[in-house]
Structure 1
Amino acid sequence: MDATTLVTPPYVAGPFRLEPFRGLMLAPGRVGNPTTGRAFARPYREVSNRLARWQAKGYLTHDETPALYLHEYTSGGITVRGLVGALDVSRRALHPADRAVLPHEGIHPVQADELADRMAEMRLNPAPILLVHRGSEALRAQLGAVAATEPTHAFTDRSEQQHRIWATRDRETLDLIAAELSSTRALIADGHHRYAAYLRLQRRHAAQGSPVPTDFGLAMLVDQDDTPLFLGPIHRTLVGATMDDLRDAVQSLGLTYEPQDQAGSVAALSATRLAATDGTDWAIIGLDPDSGEAAVETLHRHVVPALPHGPTTLVYHHSVEDALAKARPDAVAVLMPAPSVDHVIRIAEADRLLPEKATSFQPKPSLGVLIRSLRD
């Protein structure tokens, strides 16, 4: 298979299960530290031994008994709180109604295989994938009661993220959480390739019987109605294309192309209007409001294939400033709106995948707050 090919990762079947595990946690001075990544670097088979040495030095702790962790972190003025546990990935959905986890982006199989190999060598899930859902009132009340107690851990890491963590082991609380989560359908916000790697590891060891550590993968579940993640756009530069090329493509599709100044173009940016520039000229691209597509879908599936020349390369940018810095007569910057979370969920439920790098959920937790060992 072509290494550039994107495929749909398999769907995990419900009921949604997030199980307690024995958390590994780096010391606060190691969390968010740029040097921490070295502990998870090649050779990957040595990672477990490195972390064992860190544990002996007090740089890492390993809980004695399993827990479901409520993790709250604050970054850039945004506070996010979610449940961290071992996500059951042992069953595959055979019908759309059975799905418990919804991917919205395709994955590169080779990259997923490499990540699975890496986790197998490390004997770790080094960081949770990020899931979002809309939780029930009962679940919010229960987690609110947990968050009202004294946290098990509270610290500010080296990157200035503030963290509070509650280790929940009370059986009655765990049973209530499990019951409220059983019918959940969660959207993958970040970590599509790690999710696919979890499924590959599970398949590799399925013959060993169940349960085994690879029947689960580390995940953080955030209630978008409680402490929402910010969903930002990812802008594009169409290298090798000109504004004339873009105009011809847009008009050939029956869409609108309106020359405009910079202020007017940026102000017009919305779910159905894009702004484009080559650094000198600006234009507003009007999309079909009745198509049901996200703007990024229309751009990639219709506009880009209709370009008479290029693009030779697509470059992605998380800020307007970076996108505009790349704009030139033969490289058109296209400023994108962010789709709503509900729109992304509807697209995923309709069996559609958004193009690569379509969404940017922020903020993400620092590496090293919660790690899961595959030796447990």
Structure 2
Amino acid sequence: MNTSGPAAGRGLRLTPFRGLRYVPDRVGSLAAVTSPPYDVVVRPDGLHHLESADPHNIVRLILPQAGTAAERHRQAAATLKKWLAEGVLAPDPEPVLYVYEQRSGDILQRGVIGALALSPASEGIVMPHEDVMADIVEDRADLMRTVAAHLEPLLLSYAGGDDGPDGAAAVIERVAERPPLLDTTTEDGFGHRLWAVPDPGERARIESDLSRRQALIADGHHRWATYLRLQRERSTPGPWDFGLVLLVDTARYPLRVRAIHRLLHRFPVDRALEALAGRFRVRTLDLPLPGALDALAEAASEGNAFLLAGDGRFHLADRPDARLLARTIRADRPAAWRTLDATVLHSTLLDEVWGIPDDPQHIAYIHDTAAVVEQAERHNATAVLMHPVREEVVRHLARQGVTMPRKSTSFGPKPATGLVLRSLGTD
């Protein structure tokens, strides 16, 4: 038995809940009502595409459209209430855990979805690795508070391994041999299957195994901060003491780590390049996007490197001036943090060289590489393409309690939003 991490009973406490799920007969298809997580949707193009895929697409709840934030959140609450009344969404008959599978080609990921207990003791058991922005937490908190539901699970990873027939991994594999509750394929080619785990004995084995584990927040730092914020608002125990999560054993199903790119609004490439003169080495690449990304990877293996785009070409910026880094980067952090590309981007480039505030009016965070380049070229902006951080660096810093600049990583595959929700009124 793997006894690394917290002692049994002092780790993750996962509990069953009554999932809210789409009723297949009331929607065009389950694939058509799903969405990527709210912060992965490339707005406005991706938003409009999802809204037109099906009138009941989950994006109408996670990214409602109205004139003000309050109006958006009230609209989401009204939409959810309407869909429940019409039978578009319905709660499962009893509280269960769920096994969730994603598959595409040689990628296979399985995990367990449940309601995770929140408490001050969660610190050190659930480990964040990125900073959050207060305005985003405020917006998500108001949305959750208004709709009284968790609309999409966080993605948490833990190191399980082979714990024999009574471990969580073994139970998950046995459940995945049964007929699923749902089976659908989304337009990105990923197959999604979901199973209920109603058997108390199987749930107990999963819960016991997880009770000796700690987890890394792979995706959903703002939602995790929102869970904790909303729980602190309540003075009595209740459903707000739990948060909807997907837990994946990365010893069995390693996650992929990708970069999250930056789009600098109203900041053309020529201005960005002019400010880099004498501070970074800059080379213009006569290469298509795949070749430019290969050049970025090679440069990043030797030090900090960034790929700038937006004027129809790619510009590789690397070899920053050592004196500039020493002056702009905090010295009271571990070396692994000081040398992160995201640290150099925010502390040196954005704050010092370019003087760009880190707020939505000036910066957008976009996961899709081609999309961020296309938007930069369309709007005369600058795309800053990043190279992924190695997962071991992320875990190393998280175990030290050191958070990275926000949106430093993108772990995946991410769970599809819309396959199972958690109502705080029925749970």
2:348 is aligned with 1:318: no
2:345 is aligned with 1:299: yes
Q: Deviations over 1:188-224 (max 9, x none)?
A: 222222212211221122x22x3x1111111111222
Contact 1:24/1:371 (<8 A) preserved: yes
- Per the alignment, residue 121 of structure 2 pairs with 93
- Amino acid of the structure 1 residue aligned with 2:343: E
Contact 1:18/1:86 (<8 A) preserved: yes
1:61–1:156 CA distance, 2 compared to 1 (3 A): farther
Choose the corresponding residue for 1:115, options 108, 115, 140: 140
1:275–1:48 CA distance, 2 compared to 1 (3 A): closer
Matches within 5 A, 1:245-260: 245-250=275-280, 257=281, 259=283
- Amino acid of the structure 2 residue aligned with 1:242: A
SS in 1 for 2:248: strand
SS in 2 for 1:231: strand
Choose the corresponding residue for 1:335, options 366, 377, 385: 385
SS in 2 for 1:301: helix
Q: Distance in 1 between matches of 2:341 and 2:202?
A: 42
Choose the corresponding residue for 2:298, options 268, 276, 297: 268
Choose the corresponding residue for 2:222, options 172, 177, 193: 193
1:81–1:54 CA distance, 2 compared to 1 (3 A): farther
Moved more, 103-112 or 64-73: 103-112
- Per the alignment, residue 158 of structure 2 pairs with 133
- Per the alignment, residue 42 of structure 2 pairs with none
Q: Deviations over 1:94-147 (max 9, x none)?
A: 9xxx51111222223343233223223222111111112222312323322222
SS in 1 for 2:305: strand
- Amino acid of the structure 1 residue aligned with 2:121: A
Number of aligned positions between the proteins? 345
Matches within 5 A, 1:151-300: 151-156=180-185, 161-205=190-234, 207-208=235-236, 210=237, 212-236=238-262, 239=267, 241-250=271-280, 257=281, 259=283, 261-262=285-286, 265-266=295-296, 268-271=298-301, 272-277=303-308, 279=311, 282-286=315-319, 291-293=335-337, 294-300=340-346
Q: Distance in 2 between matches of 1:111 and 1:187?
A: 21
SS in 1 for 2:98: strand
- Amino acid of the structure 2 residue aligned with 1:128: P
2:23 is aligned with 1:27: yes
Contact 2:156/2:245 (<8 A) preserved: yes
Give the alignment's Cα RMSD to 1 decimal. Answer: 3.2
Q: Distance in 1 between matches of 2:84 and 2:89?
A: 8
2:60 is aligned with 1:38: yes
Instruction: Tell me the TM-score normalized by structure 1.
Output: 0.79
- Per the alignment, residue 358 of structure 1 pairs with 408
1:126–1:176 CA distance, 2 compared to 1 (3 A): same
Q: Deviations over 1:22-42 (max 9, x none)?
A: 111113424542332336644
Moved more, 13-22 or 33-42: 33-42
1:123–1:237 CA distance, 2 compared to 1 (3 A): closer
SS in 2 for 1:228: coil
Moved more, 310-319 or 115-124: 310-319
Q: Distance in 1 between matches of 2:244 and 2:22?
A: 16
- Amino acid of the structure 2 residue aligned with 1:54: E
Residue 339 of structure 1 and its aligned partner are, at CA, apart by 0.7
Contact 1:107/1:192 (<8 A) preserved: yes
- Per the alignment, residue 12 of structure 2 pairs with 16
- Amino acid of the structure 1 residue aligned with 2:252: D
Contact 1:31/1:366 (<8 A) preserved: no
SS in 2 for 1:87: strand
SS in 2 for 1:177: helix
Instruction: Tell me the TM-score normalized by structure 2.
Output: 0.70
Contact 1:237/1:327 (<8 A) preserved: no
Residue 181 of structure 1 and its aligned partner are, at CA, apart by 0.8
Residue 166 of structure 1 and its aligned partner are, at CA, apart by 1.8
SS in 2 for 1:69: strand
Q: Distance in 2 between matches of 1:20 and 1:81?
A: 17
Q: Deviations over 1:265-309 (max 9, x none)?
A: 446243534144465674451378x932322122222344442x5
SS in 2 for 1:219: strand
Residue 161 of structure 1 and its aligned partner are, at CA, apart by 4.4
Q: Distance in 2 between matches of 1:248 and 1:156?
A: 50
- Per the alignment, residue 329 of structure 2 pairs with none
Contact 2:244/2:422 (<8 A) preserved: yes
Choose the corresponding residue for 1:106, options 119, 126, 131: 131
Q: Distance in 1 between matches of 2:373 and 2:138?
A: 36
